[in-house]
Structure 1
Amino acid sequence: MILTYIAIVVALFFAMNIGASGTAASMGAAYGAGAIKNKRLAMFLVSLAAFLGAVLGGGEVVKTIGSGIIPSNHFSVEVVVIILAGATLTLFLSNLLGIPLSTSEVTVGSIIGVGIAYQSLYTDKLSIIVSFWIIVPVLSFFITFTLGKLIEYAENRWNGLKGQGKWTKWLSVLLVVGGCLEAFSAGMNNVANAVGPLVGANILSEGNGLWLGALFVSLGAITLGGKVLETNGKKITRLSLLQGSTVSFTGGALVIIASLFGLPVPLTQVTTCGILGVGAAKDGFIMLQKGVIKQIIMVWIISPLASLVVSYFLINLFARPNTYNLFIIVSTLVATIGTIRLSQIVRKEKRATYDEGGGI
């Protein structure tokens, strides 16, 4: 019974981090474009919209997370704690760094780690999910890039569309509505990442899980979402009101469609790629060289692998103790860290040699 309560507590903490990461990013375009200047108001609106999305439309993705990747009979209380711990740890660290991270990737990665440990994965369903992790963000980029070119032409011809004069109010309203739509889609798609394992293990019913998860996602968006909102809204590229609306409506529509088919997709990647699309249309592809873009891409690649390794390690440590597997994992980790550290030392010594005028 105590382990059950621990599983629920970890899931709710995870839900708060989902609100801080994926949900808060939904209003990044509106905040960056200046449609909402008050950060607290922006976070309140996304929390409300995400709550409604989770309650009204989150059921299909919950089913996928709870029984579509690995057989539901593997979802014991102990395994649920391990899945959520692996995903939560990865997401929490990314929030401390202020990096928008896909909760879908860390959750699915954590479940895959369990499936590998038990040698039981629905590979057909998993291949579809992973392929859509690539397809949907890329589609978002090209849609917003195309629309961004049209918007650039229209704004140059009609200055009012840049948010000047009487058009400012209405374009701002349009962008805020788009941000709320995107947050609604976040609720549909991402809340399942926290409560899906609980539903799969029959710890909570689907309805109770959605209501409870929605509540804590909203709480997380308000209390922890500030850094991610700043990253998506201000550090990637500045958007006009019309450009921001394009990002929000495109991302929201794509994620809602995926949610209706029960596919957990990386909302934050969809949003960020949309911002990059309009940014590339406006400033050219040179803006893709910005350091924050490289950092986000690195976290996207590492995050599912990190949560996979963590959950696989915990399964072999607690659920199915296996000394040999633990030894391999620890040895690989030590070798990787050692190699990175050694390369840093070598580069530092080379720089010191060149600076002192020595060497060949």
Structure 2
Amino acid sequence: MATLDPLFVGGVVLACFVAYNVGGSTTGPAFGPAVGAGVIGRITAGLLMSGCFFLGAWTIGRRVVETLGTDLLRDPGAFTPEVSVLVLGFIGGALFLGNLTGTPASTSMTAVGAIAGFGLAADQLAWAVVGEILLWWIVAPVAGFWLSVVVGRYYYTRIEHAIAIEDSEGPLVTLDRRGHVPRPVPGPNTTRRELVGSTAVVAIGCLMAFSSGTSNIANAIAPLVGSGAIGMESGILVGSAAVAVGALTIARRTMDTLGNDITDLPLTAALVVAVISSTIVVGLSALGVPASFVVIATTSIVGLGWGRASRTFTVAEAVAGEATTSVSVGGLRADETSPTVGDPAAAADRPDTAAIGDADAGDVPAAADLFDPETSVRVVVIQNVVPVLATAGSFLTFTVLSGGWLPI
């Protein structure tokens, strides 16, 4: 009777561990708003996360797997089973260290760093591919920032009116069993506004889950696929199954707090950031570029807040140097006048309904700002330190092991 290779078993276990944590940490930000609004339950959120993640991984995600598993090294054959196990260990270890600090770290940046550390030690790093990835890592957050500035300055209030969710009594959707096949219909007290708003919140959660699949599946299985220890399709199935376990277990707790700093925002801001960041991630994944949702979302939050605060002056005044605003603003905070769940009419009295350039166009209470400089600096520093640690640890370890039992 054949026995399983311990290295193969260890690699699969580590890959599942990474994927399990992806499912646990990503489900909260994706479906936390929908669960908090009472639109869907935790189990439904976990199932939607699992299905949409798998769809993203199976369709676009394989392109990112190829980038990390083969293209990042000049000789893909250097990715032996031994190397893949150690690389996965660095990815999981660095992410665990980031989790200990309470700061969401980028799994994509950490995975690229761990693989790049090995490539440097083995003199196998494909510098052209690394340069392309680094370029997109600069462009993507900047694009997220400016897109968010535009939305915050010109469209935020309209979006806020459109997606504010009414909270009627009874179920949102029921089954009509009068025909041969039961079909879902709005509940007896469900209004059109409530149905549209609730559907939008769930759809945006599905988009986030899909984008996570396109990018994050590679972080879990690329080393194994690159080493030939497991096939692409098998790897996606195993990784997605581990994500599903995380989404249906530990994510049930993270959804209560909505997973990470992004979801400390009111409903409107959280969904705007989610749409912008997820769309950018899906676009980069389609190009085969591993993208960091966390980093893009962080800059999008800053951009959205800055755009909201900039409503107090016109573009001409800004160009002439006659107006300034602070990046740390209270314009996105969930104060008593911000419509989220059950109060779609609250925005009617918001001061930001004034025309852009009016002195009160962006006036909001000064207390409880969205973020402070110290917190922002800590988040950005840790988001960069974790990948650096993975890179440095991988490079030093493989350098020490050169000429030993590892073929590098």
TM-score above 0.5: yes
Q: Which amino acid aligns with 1:285?
A: V
Aligned pairs, number:
316
The answer on 1:302 being equivalent to 2:385 is yes
Residue aligning to 2:287: 261
Indicate conservation of the 8 Å contact 2:263/2:270, yes or no. no
Distance, in Å, in 1 between the alignment partners of 2:35 and 2:98 is 21
Indicate conservation of the 8 Å contact 1:276/1:288, yes or no. no
Distance, in Å, in 2 between the alignment partners of 1:42 and 1:280 is 32
Larger Rg: 2
* 1:113 Cα deviation after fit: 0.7
Give the RMSD, CA atoms, in angstroms: 2.7
Indicate conservation of the 8 Å contact 1:35/1:173, yes or no. no
Match of 2:201 among 175, 180, 184: 175
Distance, in Å, in 1 between the alignment partners of 2:32 and 2:300 is 11
Partner deviation per Cα, 1:55-103 (whole Å, 9 max, x = no partner): 2332111110111111211101111111111111011222344322211
Residue aligning to 1:341: none
Mark the CA change 1:267 to 1:80 in structure 2 (over 3 Å): closer, same or farther.
same
Indicate conservation of the 8 Å contact 1:69/1:126, yes or no. yes
Residue aligning to 1:105: 109
Residue aligning to 2:135: 131
Match of 2:266 among 238, 258, 275: 238
Aligned partner of residue 285 in structure 1, secondary structure:
coil
The answer on 1:229 being equivalent to 2:258 is yes
* 1:22 Cα deviation after fit: 4.6
Percent identity over the alignment is 28
Indicate conservation of the 8 Å contact 2:25/2:259, yes or no. no
The answer on 1:285 being equivalent to 2:368 is no
Q: Which amino acid aligns with 1:125?
A: V
Indicate conservation of the 8 Å contact 1:69/1:112, yes or no. yes
Distance, in Å, in 1 between the alignment partners of 2:287 and 2:404 is 37
* 1:208 Cα deviation after fit: 0.6
Distance, in Å, in 1 between the alignment partners of 2:304 and 2:35 is 16
Match of 1:219 among 242, 245, 249: 245
Residue aligning to 1:48: 51
Partner deviation per Cα, 1:295-352 (whole Å, 9 max, x = no partner): 3211111011100122123323445459xxxxxxxxxxxxxxxxxxxxxxxxxxxxxx
Q: TM-score, normalised by structure 1?
A: 0.78
Mark the CA change 1:172 to 1:247 in structure 2 (over 3 Å): closer, same or farther.
farther
Indicate conservation of the 8 Å contact 2:110/2:387, yes or no. yes
* 1:13 Cα deviation after fit: 0.9
Indicate conservation of the 8 Å contact 1:175/1:248, yes or no. no
- Of 217-226 and 179-188, the range deviating more from structure 2: 217-226
Partner deviation per Cα, 1:132-156 (whole Å, 9 max, x = no partner): 1221122112112211222344368
Residue aligning to 2:150: 146
- Of 15-24 and 252-261, the range deviating more from structure 2: 15-24
Distance, in Å, in 2 between the alignment partners of 1:68 and 1:46 is 29
Match of 1:26 among 5, 30, 40: 30
Q: TM-score, normalised by structure 2?
A: 0.70
Indicate conservation of the 8 Å contact 1:17/1:91, yes or no. no
Residue aligning to 2:234: 208
Indicate conservation of the 8 Å contact 1:30/1:245, yes or no. no
The answer on 1:90 being equivalent to 2:119 is no
Distance, in Å, in 2 between the alignment partners of 1:29 and 1:142 is 24
- Identify the structure with the greater helix proportion: 1
The answer on 1:315 being equivalent to 2:398 is yes
* 1:119 Cα deviation after fit: 1.7
Residue aligning to 2:214: 188
- Of 169-178 and 19-28, the range deviating more from structure 2: 19-28
